[in-house]
Structure 1
Amino acid sequence: MAVAVATFLIVDSGSAPTGPRELTADQAGRLAVTRFHNYQVGGRALTIDVPGTAGGLTVTGSIDYRRKVGYGVVHGTGRDASGNGLIQWTATTVLVHPMANAPAKAPARPPGSGWYSRPLQKYGSSLDSSLAIALKLGSDRPDNAELLPQNGAAWVGRDRLDGHQVDIMTGPSAARATPGTAGTTGPADAVRYWIGSDGTMYRVRVGVASASRPVVIDFDTHKYVPVRPAPGVTPAR
């Protein structure tokens, strides 16, 4: 399972888990296809909550999982508005468009100017780690359901999330990952997935080295808007 960008992972205990227990065949199958499901539907609307010692950041937007590009608006929480504005990112590049009065939702068509480009940081930035993780939650093929339990994936408990009955599962650990299944760094329970009965991913919670609390990524928090490239962005094909 994806999200190999984190270097030290922390899990909180928000949902009163009753496991961990070995995955059933059905659970392993749903965990195996959950990233593929994101790719199949093309894109998902999501909200990324990024913790920080000086206040957090919230990214509200969409990801095109086929073209590997995300777009949204950033708002600071518990901090000043200096980091607010529009954001678009790929696996290698982050573009920001500062806005003193950032809207609640990003405009469907990105502005034609006013963007600043920089490389996506692989280490040291909670925001960039969160953006990279979110991109990796889509895959053009399912994971191997038989290998997931062998590599440390497990069932943790059940929850109800926005009206959906979900199972909470952990991904495999990097130390035990087998080629063909993307693992995580840190303990096997470091990344948690809230997955519906059809394999739909509704939430992911994962810690990153630069933050003391986990990043939380919630899907379907608003209507999906197809991602249009900002100037200078060439999405994958």
Structure 2
Amino acid sequence: MGGGTDSGGDSAARRTLTSDEANRLAITRFLNYQAGGRAVTITVPSAAGGLVVTGSVDYRAGIGYGVVRGAGRDTSSDGLIQWTAATVLVHPMTDAPATAPPAPPASGWYRRPLQKSGSALDSSLAIALGLGSDRPDNAELLPQNGAALVGKDRVRGHSVDVMTGPNVRARSETSSAPGSNSSSAVRYWIDGDGTMYRVRAGVASESQPVVIDFDDRKYVPVRAAPGVTPAG
């Protein structure tokens, strides 16, 4: 998942957010939206070894696109993947590339609805899409909802604060209110400017969390696959 340790933030430093910290947490998803999109690596948990999606998310159009590979398992799931809040398209490949081609293939896609529950992959894809917002969150309400500073870390050379905050877990996957349980709350790794570098969130179908890393790779604008309509 890149450099830096991941203590999970379970430290004695857990405390209520300061005004500055709450403001940074409030704008972090908005900054993703303002940027247009971000390069991401999504590590999806699974008892069979998990999956890794490497690609980009366009937060204005509401589309993600990348390469999916098995981690510690066979390559039966390998290929290209594109998704929206409602639909997942997969393009199986026996020898998947390291990065997705800028222009999605014109054919060979299999389309299905995005599952609202029971699929760690689909829950992870939905969470990744939810990490952008066209407006900041309410900084005054975050501490009231249990947002807290739970530690400090370094991610690929960036000094970050680890905070619990707005719960972006798919609604049907949610088992508790935001911030009500430190083990289930979504955690954000955020720098001094509010830039998001990592997010960790629980999914109901797995015991381990999904981890979404915002990479230093250059963001490649997402082009919609045939039949996909951007949200924006």
Q: TM-score, normalised by structure 1?
A: 0.88
Q: Equivalents in 2 of 1:187, 1:206: separation in Å?
A: 12
Runs of 5+ consecutive residues of structure 2 not aligned to the other structure: 1-5, 169-176
Q: Which amino acid aligns with 2:44?
A: V
For 2:11 and 2:161, locate their aligned partners in 1 and report how far apart those are by CA, in whole Å: 10
Is the counterpart of residue 36 in structure 1 residue 57 in structure 2? no
Residue 234 in structure 1 maps to residue 223 in structure 2: no
1:201 counterpart = 2:196: yes
Question: Percent of counterpart pairs with the same letter?
Answer: 72
Contact 1:173–1:188 (CA under 8 A) maintained in structure 2: no
Task: Give, in whole Å, the separation in 2 of the partners of 1:166 and 1:112.
Answer: 41
**1:18-44 superposed Cα distances (whole Å, 9 cap, x missing partner):** 332010000000000000000001000
**1:125 and 2:119 equivalent?**
yes
Quick one: which amino acid aligns to residue 227 of structure 1? V
Q: Residue 58 in 1 paired to residue 52 in 2?
A: yes
* Aligned partners of 2:146 and 2:178 also within 8 Å: no
Alignment deviations for residues 173-200 of structure 1 (CA, whole Å, 9 cap, x no partner): 69xxxxxxxx648625521100011000
Q: Relative to 1, partners in 2 of residues 1:107 and 1:192: Cα closer, same or farther, differing over 3 Å?
A: same
Per the alignment, residue 92 of structure 1 pairs with 86
CA–CA separation in structure 2 for the residues paired with 1:106 and 1:185:
36
Deviation at 1:51, TM superposition (A): 1.0
Could you say what secondary structure the match of 2:121 adopts? helix
* Contact 1:112–1:230 (8 Å) recurs in 2: yes
User: Quick check: 1:80 aligned with 2:74?
Assistant: yes
Figure out how many residues of one structure are paired with residues of the other and give that number.
218
Contact 2:147–2:179, Cα closer than 8 Å, also in 1: no
| Aligned-partner SS, 2:127 | helix
In structure 1, C-alpha distance between the alignment counterparts of 2:154 and 2:118, rounded to whole Å:
34
Q: Return the TM-score normalized by structure 2.
A: 0.90
> Residues 141 and 152 of structure 1: is their aligned pair in 2 closer, same or farther, counting only changes over 3 Å?
same
Query: Once the two structures are superposed, what CA deviation does each residue of 1:132-171 show, in whole Å capped at 9, x if it has no partner?
Result: 0000000000000001001100011111111111000001
Q: Which has the larger displacement, 88-97 or 212-221?
A: 212-221
Matches within 5 A, 1:113-192: 113-172=107-166, 184=178, 187-188=181-182, 190-192=185-187
Q: How far does the alpha carbon of each residue in 1:30-80 deviate from its partner, in whole angstroms, 9 at most, with x for none?
A: 000000000001000000000101111000000000000000000001111
Please, which runs of 5 or more residues in structure 1 have no aligned partner?
1-11, 175-182
Question: Shift of the alpha carbon at 1:112?
Answer: 0.3
Change (3 A) 1:218 1:36: same
Superposition deviation, residue 235 in structure 1? 0.6
Q: State the Cα RMSD in Å.
A: 1.7
CA–CA separation in structure 1 for the residues paired with 2:167 and 2:70: 32
- For residues 43 and 114 of structure 1, what CA distance do their matches in structure 2 show? 26
Which of 49, 62, 65 is residue 71 of structure 1 equivalent to? Answer: 65
